[in-house]
Amino acid sequence: MTSTDLTEPAARALIVVDVQPTFCEGGELGVDGGNAVADRVAAYAAAHRDRYAAVVTTQDWHIEPGEHFSETPDFVDSWPPHGIAGSPGAELHPALADLAPDVSVKKGQYSHGYSGFDGVDEGGRTLATILAESGIGAVDVVGLVESHCVKHTALDARRLGLDARVLTDLTIPVSPEQGEQARAELAAAGVALLDSSSV
């Protein structure tokens, strides 16, 4: 076999999902450990930017998401108001101030918007279009939270035929039980679950 027979590895993007104050301690839908995840994601991205063809952030950016918001939420299909467009809680976490993403995607304006692939950039391009136009065939998914938007983003990446990994130390679930369920779903879909130190 010659070197010309070797297949080049797919260009890879880092997708930073919903690292926003709304999902961290003190936020409208805060998860214990959210701030620490934000710090770890920021440190990892700064140290390993050269591994990625693109860094993409997603944000919950709810304007009128319908049944997604409820005054009596069931925390399965309905939630207290969070990630409200234009609010401080919906901005990127301060830990990401120096991230300088290549693309920012906002999602959930008028829907649930669990997956980053439900969102669009300021030019109206979907995440799938953005990745395709950039020649990206693989993604690492990190952020908040593992049991919900990280999971849905990684599952959609697999449905689109992308190689997908979730870096498990750079995310956190709402609860250990929901995290275990999410990881089972991800593994069954062919999403690799890896510690960032091993990639």
Per-residue pLDDT reduced to its tens digit, 70-95: 999 999 889 999 999 999 999 999 99
Q: Which of 18, 60, 118, 140 is catalytic?
A: 18
Enter the tokens of residue 75: 């925390």
Q: Say whether pLDDT at 9 is over 80.
A: no
Global pTM reads: 0.94
Q: Which of 24, 60, 106, 107 is catalytic?
A: 107
18 is catalytic: yes
Confirm or reject CATH 3.40.50.850 for domain 36-198, answering yes or no: yes
CA proximity to 134, closest of 143, 126, 142: 126
* Residue type present at position 176: P
Given pLDDT bands bounded at 50, 70 and 90, which one contains residue 1? very low
In angstroms, what is the C-alpha Rg of the chain? Answer: 16
Q: Say whether pLDDT at 198 is over 50.
A: yes
The pLDDT value recorded for residue 6 is: 52
Sheet of 54-60, strands arranged across: 103-107, 54-60, 11-17, 136-144, 163-172, 192-194
- By DSSP bridging, strand 11-17 and strand 54-60 are parallel
Given pLDDT bands bounded at 50, 70 and 90, which one contains residue 5? very low
The pLDDT value recorded for residue 3 is: 44
Q: Which of 106, 118, 140, 149 is catalytic?
A: 149
32 is catalytic: no
Torsional class of 93: left (φ above 0), alpha (ψ -120 to 50), beta (otherwise) = beta
Interval 12-41 mean pLDDT: 97
Average pLDDT over the chain reads: 94
